């Protein structure tokens, strides 16, 4: 009888967890759809409705701390600041266009509020249970050093005449990265947590793509839409395409890995349709380049876990892609965009006028950045200070007033502002994270774990490669990076625990980290 009671209790607990997860998932998705529909219908959602929804989210987080990780990921990724100017999670409380506008003096955002609530909820849980939560050491030391370097960069910049408000705005998400990683690593501990996190990320980016398409085809006049397409500019923020790479990596991975989730295989092609459509319209060449490199990591994972399948699929796929690039070389059609992205790197002379202008700007910007870094390569300039303009750059101040505070090259930005310690810790983090993602994929005992490791590792590669070419240290990208790092940590913990239970002492998180 006692055994049956324990089994029934375990089943009941499992069902309760499933119901809780469903409630959180449904709340996130329906909230995004409700706010979007209300905004499109009225032009501006009343503050009380948005505040009430935010309060419900805060209650859910305090009831279940892991809900904070879910909601931070979902609500940061579901809204694009450019096509959804009303969306509050990527705006400060001082942004008048936000549906959660509070006051001109409030520099904190609803995203920051959910971070604080999640931290308080986790601390309260530990106090209530009188049990400390183990803090994972993996990735923590390079993130900790980066945090200290960024903090020093703020002080150093201010002492040398930097603008404190600009310094805080430019460095906030870099400072949040270690905090977000710790929240994910501490709270995401089971396979169902990983599934939930990836599912919400995919759902968020699919909804974001749908809103983007709606804005382009119904929110814009035909003349404005034609001007947008003719100019070669994107309706979305530049980093949106880099984040969409995660959806494409998921689509590829669930079909590459043998015996991966059937449900994911059936759902992902439909989720990818609006994402790919918006992706092509955005025409971010750097996103395509970062996707190709990230797919290389997925191929490495496949080789390490199923070499026979690798040799059957990857060489043939490479040949087909090469034929595609050759067939669409020089074409201006929408379907030729990935081919044009490759062509513009191989043969810059054939690039379009808008692509050439963008390339010239970035080349000049990088020259100016390198010259500024040479002034103090050890400590950097600090945050809140302009970089030196040795060669005049094309004027983009109308669209981006902080152009000489926050450059497009977000890798050199870290060196420029946080010095050699900051850039070194970032590069070490990248190396350790990519290596670790491949290791946990090879250790994984379940196909879905291999998929999760490949997607997380590929997302990190995609983000960091894109970061070299464009502005990336925003809520969406940083949250996705933290979630990917946390997923890798969780998978490593699961693999190590299962190996220990099986009596295999070869797997050791500490030995790898």
Closest of 293, 239, 240 to residue 458, by C-alpha = 293
Could you read off the pLDDT of 490-500 as tens digits, one per residue?
999 998 888 77
Distance CA 71, CA 115 (A): 10
Could you read off the pLDDT of 296-349 as tens digits, one per residue?
999 999 999 999 999 999 999 989 888 888 777 777 776 777 777 776 666 555
CA dist 420 → 35, 159, 205, 381, 466 (Å) = 43, 19, 34, 11, 21
Q: What are the respective helix, strand and coil percentages of the chain, to the nearest 5?
A: 75, 0, 25
Could you read off the pLDDT of 214-242 as tens digits, one per residue?
888 887 777 777 776 666 666 677 778 88
Cβ count near 131 (within 10 Å): 9
- Quickly tell me which residue has 């693999």 as its tokens: 495
Domain ranges of the chain: 1-133, 134-512
Q: pTM for the full model?
A: 0.88
Distance CA 157, CA 71 (A): 34
Quote the pLDDT of residue 25: 66
Quote the pLDDT of residue 509: 39
pLDDT surpassing 50 at residue 4? no
CA dist 99 → 32, 86, 213, 472, 475 (Å) = 13, 6, 21, 24, 18
Could you read off the pLDDT of 168-189 as tens digits, one per residue?
888 999 999 999 999 999 999 8
Closest of 198, 163, 165, 70 to residue 381, by C-alpha = 163
- The structure tokens listed for 406 are 């926050």
Calculate what percentage of the chain has a pLDDT beyond 90: 42
- Quickly tell me which residue has 């290791």 as its tokens: 439
Could you read off the pLDDT of 48-61 as tens digits, one per residue?
777 777 888 888 88
Distance CA 405, CA 383 (A): 8
- Between 402 and 439, name the one with better pLDDT: 439
- Quickly tell me which residue has 């989720």 as its tokens: 271
Closest of 151, 104, 237, 205 to residue 455, by C-alpha = 205
Could you read off the pLDDT of 411-459 as tens digits, one per residue?
999 999 999 999 999 999 999 999 999 999 998 989 999 999 999 999 9
Cβ count near 508 (within 10 Å): 12
Average pLDDT value over all residues in the chain: 83
């Amino acid at each position: 009888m006692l055994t049956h009671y324990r089994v029934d209790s375990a089943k009941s607990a499992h069902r309760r967890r499933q119901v809780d997860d469903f409630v959180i998932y449904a709340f996130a998705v329906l909230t995004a759809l409700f706010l979007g529909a209300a905004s499109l219908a009225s032009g501006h959602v009343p503050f009380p409705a948005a505040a009430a929804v935010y309060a419900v989210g805060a209650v859910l987080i305090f009831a279940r701390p892991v809900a904070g990780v879910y909601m931070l990921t979902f609500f940061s990724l579901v809204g694009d600041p450019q096509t959804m100017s009303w969306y509050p999670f990527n705006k400060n409380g001082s942004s008048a266009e936000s549906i959660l506008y509070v006051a001109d003096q409030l520099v904190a955002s609803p995203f920051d509020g959910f971070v604080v609530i999640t931290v308080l909820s986790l601390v309260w849980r530990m106090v209530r249970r009188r049990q400390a939560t183990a803090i994972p050491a993996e990735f923590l030391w390079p993130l900790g050093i980066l945090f200290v370097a960024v903090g020093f960069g703020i002080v150093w910049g201010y002492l040398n005449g930097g603008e404190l408000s600009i310094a805080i705005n430019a460095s906030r998400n870099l400072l949040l990265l270690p905090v977000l990683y710790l929240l994910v690593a501490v709270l995401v501990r089971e396979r169902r947590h990983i599934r939930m996190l990836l599912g919400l990320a995919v759902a968020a980016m699919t909804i974001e793509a749908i809103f983007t398409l709606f804005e382009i085809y119904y929110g814009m006049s035909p003349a404005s839409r034609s001007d947008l397409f003719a100019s070669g500019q994107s309706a979305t923020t530049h980093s949106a395409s880099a984040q969409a790479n995660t959806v494409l990596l998921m689509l590829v991975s669930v079909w590459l890995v043998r015996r991966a989730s059937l449900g994911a295989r059936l759902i992902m092609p439909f989720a990818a349709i609006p994402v790919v459509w918006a992706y092509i319209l955005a025409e971010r060449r750097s996103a395509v380049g970062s996707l190709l490199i990230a797919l290389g990591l997925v191929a490495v994972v496949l080789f390490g876990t199923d070499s026979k399948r690798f040799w059957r699929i990857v060489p043939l796929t490479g040949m087909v892609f090469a034929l595609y690039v050759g067939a669409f070389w020089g074409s201006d059609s929408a379907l030729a965009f990935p081919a044009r992205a490759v062509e513009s790197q191989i043969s810059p002379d054939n690039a379009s006028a808008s692509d050439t202008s963008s390339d010239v700007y970035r080349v000049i910007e990088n020259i100016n950045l390198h010259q500024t870094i040479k002034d103090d390569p050890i400590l950097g300039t600090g945050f809140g200070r302009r970089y030196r303009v040795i060669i005049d750059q094309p004027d983009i101040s109308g669209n981006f007033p902080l152009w000489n505070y926050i450059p497009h090259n977000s890798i050199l930005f870290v060196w420029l502002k946080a010095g050699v310690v900051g850039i070194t810790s970032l590069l070490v983090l990248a190396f350790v994270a990519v290596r670790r993602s491949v290791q946990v994929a090879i250790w994984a005992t379940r196909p879905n774990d291999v998929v999760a490791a490949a997607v997380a590792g590929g997302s990190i590669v995609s983000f960091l490669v894109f970061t070299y070419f464009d502005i990336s240290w925003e809520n969406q990208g940083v949250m996705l990076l933290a979630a990917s790092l946390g997923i890798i940590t969780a998978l490593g913990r699961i693999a190590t625990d299962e190996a220990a239970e099986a009596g295999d002492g070869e797997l050791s998180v500490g030995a790898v980290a």
